[in-house]
Chain A
Amino acid sequence: MKILVTAKRVEDPESKIKVKPDGSGIVQEGLKYKINPFDEIAVEEGLRLVAKHGGEVVVVSIGGKEVQEQLRHALAMGAHRAVWVNHTGPLDQLGIAGLLQKVAEKEKPDMVVLGKQSIDDDQNQVGQYLAEFLGWSQATFASKVESLESEQEKNKAPALAVGADGKSVRVVREVDNGLATLECALPAVVTTDLRLNLPRYASLPGIMKAKSKPIEELTPQKLGVDVAPKIQVLKMSSPPPRKAGIKVADVAALVDKLRNEAKVV
Chain B
Amino acid sequence: MPIVLIVAEQQPDGNLRKATLNAVTAGRTLAEKAGAELHLVLLSKDPSKVSEELKGLGVKAVHTAGAPELEHYLAEVYTPVIAGLAQELKADYVGMASTAMGKDLMPRVAARLKAAMATDVMAFNGSGAEVTFTRPMWAGNVFAEVKLTTPVKVFTVRATEFQPAAGGQAAAEVKTFAPKIEASKTKFVDFKEVKSARPELTEARVVVSGGRGTKGDFKEIEALADELGAAVGASRAVCDAGWVPNDLQVGQTGKVVAPQLYIAAGISGAIQHLAGMKSSKTIVAINKDPEAPIFQVADYGLVADLFKVLPELRESLHKLK
Contact = CB atoms under 8 A, between A and B. Distances in A.
A235 B36 CA distance: 25
- Which DSSP category, helix, strand, loop or mixed, fits chain B's interface? mixed
Contact of A26 (B117, B120, B138, B303): B138
A88 B159 CA distance: 35
B32 interface: no
Given A122-B136, A124-B107, A235-B145, A177 B200 contact: yes
Contacts of B44: none
Contacts, number: 256
Interface stretch (B85-93, B95-103, B163-171): B95-103
A230 B149 contact: yes
Interface string B226-262: 0010000000100111100011000011000000110
A255 B316 contact: yes
Interface in A112-160: 119-129, 131-133, 136-141, 143, 146-150
Given A129-B111, A176-B99, A194-B253, A181 B302 contact: no
Interface in A38-72: none
B107 A129 contact: yes
Interface stretch (B23-31, B61-69, B180-188): B180-188
Interface stretch (A77-85, A90-98, A203-211, A215-223): A90-98
B192 A122 contact: no
A93 B138 contact: no
Contacts of B138: 11, 17, 26, 119-120, 122
Interface residues on A, range: 35 or more
A96 B208 CA distance: 39
A258 B261 contact: yes
Contacts of A16: 141
B142 A236 contact: yes
A124 B103 contact: yes
Interface string A87-114: 0000011100100000000000000000
Given A231-B116, A254-B302, A257-B300, A177 B194 contact: yes
A254 B103 CA distance: 38
Given A137-B185, A146-B242, 9 more contacts: A128-B108, A138-B76, A147-B240, A230-B116, A239-B140, A251-B312, A258-B282, A265-B228, A265-B261
9 contacts: A93-B116, A120-B137, A128-B106, A147-B242, A174-B100, A193-B253, A238-B142, A247-B301, A264-B206
